[in-house]
Amino acid sequence: MTKQYRMPIVHCTPEQMDKRVARFDQLKYPPNRYHDSQLAGHARKNFLVVGTGLVAEGASDPWSAIPVKEGFQMSYIKAVPGNGPMLHNHDTNETFICLEGKWMVIWGQHAEHSVLLNKYDVCSIPPYVPRRFECVEAAPGQEEGLLQSIQPGDKPEVEWI
């Protein structure tokens, strides 16, 4: 008798899985991904690891390492202290995880609220709450901090405030 499963089982070859592996030291980022990516106080490196990227007016190709449409986007952001994006809004939740250094997550229409994230701290911003983030302190021995961002959806949108 063959066991019946509720979910389908998909077989994936090693060659297929290789296309779904992103090596941190090989990630690339488009320097001008967003209109503010190189402005003083907003310079950062956005590494899209999984997904096809945000829908943003004037944005360049996100150079995704694993460009799949499976219901979420996952990125790494590197920045030197004092830098992060301009205040913006999303039609989705956005969850931040501090991986290296210290990061401030700022929210509200006038950027009136904030929380400091230390290594491995998490902050989850609800949809339609304006937000930004800023590297406050680089990782020890590094010039930049490292933040992870996760968003649901295949085409989350962004609007600059």
- What pLDDT does 60 receive? 85
Residues with pLDDT less than 70, the chain: none
- What pLDDT does 81 receive? 98
Pick from 77, 80, 84: nearest CA to 133 = 84
pTM, full prediction: 0.94
pLDDT per residue as tens digits for the range 42-67? 999 999 999 999 888 888 889 999 99
- What pLDDT does 40 receive? 93
- What pLDDT does 2 receive? 87
- What pLDDT does 57 receive? 83
DSSP the chain: -PPP-SS------HHHHHTT---GGG----TTSSTTTTSTTT--EEEEEESS--B-TTPPP---SB---SSEEEEEEEE-TT--PPSEEESS-EEEEEEESEEEEEESTT--EEEEE-TT-EEEEPTT--EEEEEEEPPTT-SSEEEEEEEESSS-BEEE-
